Amino acid sequence: MEKIFATARLSELLPKVKAFVLNELLWLETEHHSRSTAETYALLDSMREKVKAAGLWGLHLPKNEGGWGLTLCEFGQISEALALTPFYGHYTFNCQAPDIGNMELLSKFGSEEQKKKFLHPLLEGKIRSCFAMTEPEYAGSNPTRLATTATRKGDTYILNGHKWFTSSADGAAFAIVMAVTNPTAPPHQRASMIIVPTNTRGFSHIRKIPVFGEAGAGWASHSEIRFENCEVPVTNLIGEEGSGFKLAQERLGPGRIHHCMRWIGIAEKAFDLMCKRAASREMEEGVMLGEKQFIQGFIAESRVEIDAARLLVLRTASSIDADGAAASRNQISGIKFFTANMMLKVLDRSIQVHGAMGLSDGTMLATIYQHERGARIWDGADEVHKQSLALSILKEYGLDIKKKKRSV
């Protein structure tokens, strides 16, 4: 880990977290493909109690919510360590997406009633949540186009709409829903975020959507859901009416740091497996795979790309800590597509070095790739982030393309 981003409390915490992941969780991967989901959750719930007993619970939370008050830069490095076992680490420490983003959102913007009813059980790991924004009817690359509505009627909102790729909806206690409350307002002031308990009448879980043929279960799944005259109290509104996009940006800045550092941890795992395979796989008598020059190229390129991505992401996290997400938006766009592509390249190289075994259940590589290919799509496709970054840069050079289009 880079010393320039080290702190005294991180020096204390990080070795403990990494030791827990390697000693208590990594062995669970040996039976990942044969153990049932129910058995896995039972094991992880017991591990959660160990995390609490070790004083490592809620590391991502502010001190007033019972956490350590770590900076985003500090917690990002914790997140990388947890990703050394990506299907177990973050869930065991109760900081898996989308719960971690929902916790941060409610902690910062939730009312006292919302915190008591929704946030505190979430912090304790008693319940899970989901985040419903993406819709099948409209392109996710333009989030201002939403069909889901929340119409106010007295002291209630009545929701109607259709969402999909609502991550972790299977078994979640509540959803934070992005819905249009002010249809005649400017595009970025039309939507609001509203808490909808999943047991509310009119909330329907349609299906878990298979990703590369696997539907998953629990928090490791993505669902299609519908709202049909789904009625919730106005007190479930987060922040002010029409502030949905502002809240989304507050959520997405730190969220992309979490994602990117997790991807770096996954890349480190794939790199380690690749190097072990290269050093131990005999190609011909007395000649190891790692003696081949093209394999050496894989290893050298991967090492440098992982290190470059880490420095880029931690610099961005430090910038958010100092100046806020809005002031760091260019960096946030950059790390999103750069880190996602880096991770997938390293995963692909590692699979290639393992040959046919890399496509099987003999390692975790194929399963990780299956779940992580979406990294270039979730939270904004690569192309959207590249365009956003380029437009911002060109504007500094006097070419305001958005303004030019409006004047035509």
Q: Are residues 257 and 402 in the same domain?
A: yes
The answer to whether residues 17 and 60 touch, using CB atoms and an 8 Å cutoff, is no
**Domain containing residue 45:** 3-123
| Predicted pLDDT of residue 4 | 66
Q: Is residue 316 domain-shared with residue 351, that is, in the same domain?
A: yes
- Domain co-membership, 307 together with 403: yes
Q: Report the number of secondary-structure helices (H) and strands (E) in the chain.
A: 13, 11
Residue 214 inside a domain? The answer is: yes
Q: How many CB atoms lie within 10 A of CB 294?
A: 8
| Length in residues, the chain | 408
Return the structure tokens found at 8. 């005294």
Q: Which two tokens stand for residue 192?
A: 């609001």
Count up the domains in the chain and report the number: 3
The span from the CA of 252 to the CA of 122, in Å, is 19
Residue range 168-215, pLDDT digits in tens: 999 999 999 999 999 999 999 999 999 999 999 999 999 999 999 999
* pLDDT < 50: residue spans in the chain: 1
Q: What is the DSSP string of 83-148?
A: TTSTTTHHHHTT--TTHHHHHHHHHHH--HHHIIIIIHHHHTTS--EEEE---TTS-TT-TT----
- Indicate whether 394 belongs to any domain: yes
Give the chain's end-to-end CA distance (angstroms, integer): 50
To the nearest 10 degrees (0 to 180), the angle between helices 365-372 and 329-354 is 150
**Is the same domain home to 162 and 280?**
no
Beta strand 174-180 pairing with 129-132: parallel
Are 83 and 171 found together in one domain? no
Residue 308 lies in a domain: yes
Examine the domain organization and report whether 258 and 392 are in the same domain: yes
- Write down the pLDDT at residue 140: 77
Contacts by residues 10-19 (CB-CB < 8 Å, ≥ 24 positions apart): 10/70, 10/74, 10/77, 10/78, 13/56, 13/59, 13/68, 13/70, 13/78, 14/77, 14/78, 14/81, 16/54, 16/56, 17/56, 17/59, 17/78, 17/81, 17/82, 17/93, 18/81, 18/84
Same domain, 96 and 138: no
Same domain, 13 and 75: yes
Same domain, 200 and 334: no
Q: Does 164 fall in a domain? A: yes
Q: How many CB atoms lie within 10 A of CB 367?
A: 18
Residue in the structure block whose two tokens are 């160990």: 50
pLDDT for the residue numbered 1: 47
CATH number of the domain that residue 337 is part of: 1.20.140.10
User: For the whole model, what pTM was predicted?
Assistant: 0.93
Q: Report whether 327 contacts 249 (CB < 8 A).
A: no
Q: Does residue 50 sit in the same domain as residue 87? A: yes
Is residue 245 included in any domain, yes or no?
A: no
Q: Are residues 375 and 333 in the same domain?
A: yes
Range list of β-strands (E), 168-300? 174-180, 191-197, 203-208, 216-217, 220-233, 237-238, 282-284, 287-288
For 26-46, b where at least 16 C-beta lie within 10 A, e where not — what string? eebbeeeeeeeeeebeebbee
What pLDDT is attached to residue 296? 97
HSE toward the beta carbon, residue 18, CA cutoff 13 A? 14
Residue 96: which CATH number?
1.10.540.10
Closest CA to 83 of 317, 250, 262: 262
What is the rounded CA–CA span in Å between residue 400 and residue 408? Answer: 13
Residue 244 counted as domain residue:
no
Q: How far, in Å, CA of 306 to CA of 256, rounded?
A: 17
234: in domain: yes
Residues 198 and 205 sit within 8 Å (Cβ to Cβ): yes
CA distances from 317 to 263, 281, 390 (A): 15, 39, 21
Q: Which residue from 189, 169, 171 is spatially nearest to 180, judged by alpha carbons? A: 189
